[in-house]
């Protein structure tokens, strides 16, 4: 073999299937839906390990016994070595890197392999952290997500990302990994506190504004009923949002975010910064609502988005029971550092999504800071009017 210089650039594609299921009671009458996702291996039943968000384990005390019954009823398909695992809920699970090591130890102790299943039941934070452990153990164990918040059912559950926080930076370590399946279940959602329940709908507003004008009309029409937790109004909006996110990942041409633009992050440059600035007093969903409000009004000032529609977006968020203002929003010196942090996380040029109209987006590479301040003032004034 000679070592004359040469180059081989070979494009290739890898087929994936993204499976989303919707159930009313996945450990009750709908258990077949989960069972059918579990392929026994040629060597016999597959190994399965369940991971629970501590808050849901407390809020639904019968859940563990229902899971055990599920496993014993499907002994032909799966075996569960060891116990059901419980991890802290919320950002705490992502903030302690030692928990990751603990998860890897549990995976090792249970002898899971690439044909085993990890079923994770929890909010977006627990899905992110357990999903990361699943992605790196043996370079990838099959992950089934059962999201238990409106936000994770409408958005991150069908995503292909996982992570934990490191060096006091959000999502600093993580991977892209396509889950084996995602199941959005109504009973699991039922114990979510009201504040968290409302949070998920800012992502639904976001994704419909970007991609689906009719969907935005739907969420606007149903907003007040959603705030009152009417599930006949909330369920179709969650599903529509999940499907728009799913569509983006499977057909948008950039599931692993190699391109500069990250349209699903509309409103997020400020949202991420606001979460930190408020010391995480603002939830992700609330911060996204504020970020969407600000970027929508900014779009009306700079990119021709109709002013009346901007008003409707603010009303929709308010009717959903989401705040569109917060004291930290007005510390614009600190807030604008969020622009640079957003750029750094992605690399390359600053690229933000803005809206010329509902259902249409553009990429922009700079922000007129005076106009952005004006947008923030207008959002505050609108908020004052709406809260009286
Ligand atoms: N991977 C992605 O693509 C992606 C996208 C968006 C957000 N995220 C991440 O998701 C996280 C936020 O997720 P979230 O909004 O789902 O909130 P969360 O996971 O922080 O959950 C909110 C709270 O509700 C509790 N809880 C969850 N389900 C419950 C239930 N059914 N009953 C009772 N209590 C319940 C949790 O323990 C937690 O205390 C953040 O860390 C964010 O960075 C990830
Ligand atoms: Zn988000």
Residue 340 is predicted with a pLDDT of 87
Same domain, yes or no: 186 and 269: no
Regions in the chain scoring below 70 on pLDDT: 1, 387-388
Is residue 253 domain-resident? Answer: no
Same domain, yes or no: 47 and 35: yes
- Shortest-distance Cα residue to atom 3 of ligand 1: 156
Same domain, yes or no: 167 and 188: yes
Boundary residue ending a domain (158, 192, 226): 192
Same domain, yes or no: 186 and 265: no
Boundary residue ending a domain (159, 192, 225): 192
| Reported pTM | 0.94
- pLDDT tens figures, 302-324: 999 999 999 999 999 999 999 99
The pair of three-digit structure tokens given for residue 384, joined into one six-digit string: 């004052």
Residue 111 is predicted with a pLDDT of 97
Same domain, yes or no: 188 and 269: no
Boundary residue ending a domain (154, 174, 192): 192
Same domain, yes or no: 142 and 281: no
Full domain range(s) for residue 57: 20-192
Is residue 339 domain-resident? Answer: yes
Residue 301 is predicted with a pLDDT of 98
Residue 388 is predicted with a pLDDT of 60
Same domain, yes or no: 175 and 275: no
CATH number of the domain to which 333 belongs: 1.20.1090.10
Same domain, yes or no: 177 and 204: no
Same domain, yes or no: 343 and 265: yes
Residue 277 · residue 196 · CB < 8 Å: no
Give the distance (Å) from ligand 1 centre to CA of residue 149: 6
Number of domains in the chain: 2
CA–CA gap between residue 66 and residue 370 (Å, rounded):
56
Is residue 182 domain-resident? Answer: yes
CA–CA gap between residue 379 and residue 388 (Å, rounded):
14
- pLDDT tens figures, 8-25: 999 999 999 999 999 999
Is residue 11 domain-resident? Answer: no
Same domain, yes or no: 127 and 166: yes
Verify whether ligand 1 is closer than 6 Å to residue 149 (CB atom): yes
Is residue 4 domain-resident? Answer: no
Same domain, yes or no: 112 and 72: yes
Residue 62 is predicted with a pLDDT of 98
Verify whether ligand 1 is closer than 6 Å to residue 179 (CB atom): no
Which atom of ligand 1 lies nearest, measured to the CA of 128? 1
Same domain, yes or no: 216 and 318: yes
Is residue 248 domain-resident? Answer: no
Q: How far apart are the first and last CA of the chain?
A: 80
Is residue 305 domain-resident? Answer: yes
Verify whether ligand 1 is closer than 6 Å to residue 151 (CB atom): yes
């Amino acid at each position: 073999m000679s070592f004359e210089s040469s180059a081989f650039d070979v494009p290739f594609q890898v087929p994936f299937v993204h499976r989303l299921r919707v159930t009313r009671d996945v450990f009750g009458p709908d258990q077949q839906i989960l069972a059918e996702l579990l392929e026994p291996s040629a060597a016999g039943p597959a190994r399965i390990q369940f991971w629970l968000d501590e808050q849901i384990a407390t809020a639904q005390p019968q859940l563990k016994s229902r899971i055990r019954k599920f496993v014993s009823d499907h002994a032909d398909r799966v075996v569960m070595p060891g116990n059901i695992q419980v991890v802290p809920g919320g950002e705490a699970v992502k903030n302690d890197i030692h928990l990751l090591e603990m998860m890897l130890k549990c995976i090792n102790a249970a002898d899971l392999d690439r044909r085993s299943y990890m079923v994770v039941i929890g909010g977006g934070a627990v899905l992110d952290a357990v999903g990361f452990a699943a992605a790196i153990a043996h370079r990838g164990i099959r992950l089934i997500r059962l999201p238990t918040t409106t936000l994770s059912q409408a958005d991150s559950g069908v995503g292909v990302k996982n992570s934990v926080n490191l060096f006091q930076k959000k999502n600093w370590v993580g991977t892209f990994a396509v889950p084996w399946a995602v199941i959005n279940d109504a009973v699991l959602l039922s114990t979510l506190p009201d504040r968290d329940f409302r949070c998920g709908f800012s992502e639904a507003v976001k994704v419909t504004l970007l991609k689906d004008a009719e969907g935005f009309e739907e969420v606007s029409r149903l907003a007040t009923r959603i705030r009152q937790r009417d599930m006949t109004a909330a369920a179709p909006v969650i599903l529509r949002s999940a499907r728009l996110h799913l569509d983006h990942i499977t057909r948008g041409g950039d599931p692993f975010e190699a391109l500069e633009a990250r349209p699903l992050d509309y409103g997020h440059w400020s949202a991420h910064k606001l979460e930190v600035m408020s010391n995480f007093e603002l939830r992700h969903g609330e911060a996204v609502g504020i970020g969407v409000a600000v970027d929508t009004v900014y779009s009306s000032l700079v990119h021709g988005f109709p002013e009346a529609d901007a008003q409707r977006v603010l009303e929709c968020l308010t009717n959903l029971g989401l705040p569109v203002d917060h004291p930290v929003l007005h510390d614009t010196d600190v807030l604008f550092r969020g622009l640079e942090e957003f750029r750094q996380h992605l690399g390359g040029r600053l690229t933000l999504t803005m809206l010329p109209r509902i259902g249409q987006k553009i990429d922009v590479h700079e922000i007129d800071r005076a106009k952005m301040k004006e947008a923030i003032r207008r959002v505050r004034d609108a908020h004052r009017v709406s809260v009286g």
